[in-house]
Amino acid sequence: NAPNLLLNVNGIEVIYNHVALVLKGVSLQVPEGGIVAILGGNGAGKTTTLRAISNLLKGERGEVTKGMIEYRGERVEALSPSDLVRRGVVQVMEGRHCFAHLTIEENLLAGAYTRGDKGEIAANLDKVYTYFPRLKTRRTSQAAYTSGGEQQMCAIGRALMSNPNMVLLDEPSMGLAPQIVEEVFEIVKDLNAKEKVSFLLAEQNTMVALRYADFGYIVENGRIVMEGAAQDLATNEDVKEFYLGLS
Footprint of ligand ATP on this chain (CB under 6 A)?
A: 16-17, 20, 22, 40, 42-48, 60-62, 202, 204
Question: In the structure, how many helices (H) and strands (E) does the chain have?
Answer: 10, 10
C-beta of 202: minimal distance to ligand ATP in Å? 6
Q: In what order do the strands lie in the sheet with 198-203?
A: 89-92, 166-170, 198-203, 35-39, 215-220, 223-229
**Closest CB to ligand ATP among residues 22, 160:** 22
Neighbours of 160 (CB within 10 A): 24
Q: Using the minimum distance from each CB to ligand ATP, give the nearer residue, 61 or 196.
A: 61
Helix axes 178-195, 118-131, angle to 10 degrees: 130
Q: Between 43 and 178, whose beta carbon lies closer to ligand ATP?
A: 43
Smallest distance from ligand ATP to CB 201, Å: 12
Q: How far is the CB of 56 from ligand ATP (least distance, A)?
A: 11
Distance in Å, CB of 12 to ligand ATP, minimum: 12
Cα(88)–Cα(150) distance, rounded to whole angstroms? 24
Q: Which is nearer to ligand ATP, 20 or 100 (CB)?
A: 20
CB of 137 to ligand ATP, least distance (A): 31
The greatest distance separating any two alpha carbons of the chain, rounded to the nearest whole angstrom, comes to: 52
134, 150 in Cβ contact below 8 A? Answer: yes
Is residue 94 within 8 A of residue 145, CB to CB? The reply is: no
User: Is the CB of 173 or the CB of 236 nearer to ligand ATP?
Assistant: 173
Among 59, 56, 67, residue whose Cα is nearest residue 21? 67
Residue 242, SS3 per DSSP? helix
| Residue nearer to ligand ATP on the CB measure, 17 or 179 | 17
User: Nearer to ligand ATP by C-beta: 21 or 123?
Assistant: 21
CB 29 within 8 A of CB 200: no
Q: Whole-number minimum distance, CB 42 to ligand ATP, in Å? A: 4
Task: Give dist(CA 226, CA 6) in Å, integer.
Answer: 21
Minimum Å gap between C-beta 191 and ligand ATP is 23
